[in-house]
Amino acid sequence: MKDVTELTANAGKFEDPAVTADGQPRATVALSNPQTLWFNTGTLCNITCVNCYIESSPENDRLVYITADEVRDYLDQLQDRQWPVTEVGFTGGEPFMNPQMIEMARACLEREYEVLILTNAMRPMMRKKMQAGLRALQKDFGDKLTLRVSVDHWSEDLHDTERGKGSFARTLEGMEWLRDAGIRIAIAGRTVWGESDSESRVGYANFFEKHGFDIDAHNPGMTVLFPEMDAQAEVPEITTACWGILDKSPKDVMCASSRMVVKRKGADRPAVLACTLLPYEPEFEFGATLQEAERDVALNHPHCAKFCVLGGASCSG
């Protein structure tokens, strides 16, 4: 069920997976080169952000904690399906709320996948058990592990407008702990502040230098700046003709190279989704197995257009 604001802003659009509102064939994307398998660790989070695309909060448990055994099952499926995946990503919610986060990461690292964990680097990560686990992972696997920390803006004031007063200081404390533990850090920022890309990256570069973080602000893989996903904004639908008009390839869109596994509250087993950004849209759920998830994705949602095709963004490392 699409959000009411989406229906209002894009009335008549994104309804038929085969054709657009004006009858043109809708663009689709094949899983042409699977590189990243994502796991949503659960939607519970220690904070509530102003505009969280997945509505994570201390109360939202629509997606429950996935377990290490369930992760291992999908790693077995990766091998059986011979997907050329090199990276396993964990997102939430806040992944370190999940008590099995370290075990899940180790299971992936032991199979020689690179692991990317998205975190706010706040209190859940800073618990002694998680710190000890992260130190052990760094010792055993080094830079095969990356923590991508959410720093919405390089300034404290703007970051805190999104995440709450004092959140910047607590995230900075977590980043300093990661730095001192030798754990590889990347950053996720946002582009909603009226700055150009270059202005934002200069701001992050100064922030990194001030605090001694070895993070390249000008490398989009290490400092990822995500476009806003505003459900109230009107966006165009993507037709098959758009690939040529925009000089883009469907192979460059995130669902060409990734899938996400979630565990819904009350479900007997996890499900595989087409996209990390659409956890609640039933048409983007492809069954319980990776084999079922190998089908094409119809770009039938505003996020497909604004975030992925027009925004050129990707959650992967």
Q: What does the pLDDT look like over 171-207, one tens digit per residue?
A: 999 999 999 999 999 999 999 889 999 999 999 999 9
Residue 7 has pLDDT above 60, yes or no: no
Tokens of 260: 């996400």
Spatial distance between the Cα atoms of 273 and 283, rounded to a whole number of angstroms: 9
Contacts of 192 (CB under 8 A, 6+ apart): 228
For the question of whether the overall pTM of this predicted structure is more than 0.85, the answer is yes
- What superfamily in CATH does domain 32-229+248-295+306-310 come from? Aldolase class I (3.20.20.70)
Of 113, 82, 93, 123, give the one whose Cα is nearest residue 317.
113
Residue 317: pLDDT band (50, 70, 90) is low
Domain locations in the chain as residue ranges: 32-229+248-295+306-310
Q: What is the pLDDT of residues 112-161, one digit of tens each?
A: 999 999 999 999 999 999 999 999 999 999 999 999 999 999 999 999 99
pLDDT in tens, 26-74: 999 999 999 999 999 999 999 999 888 899 999 999 999 999 999 999 9
Contact 157, 163 (CB under 8 A): no
8 Å CB contact between 308 and 255: yes
Residue closest to 84 by CA, chosen among 39, 38, 34, 37 = 34
Measure the CA–CA gap between 117 and 114, rounded to whole angstroms.
10
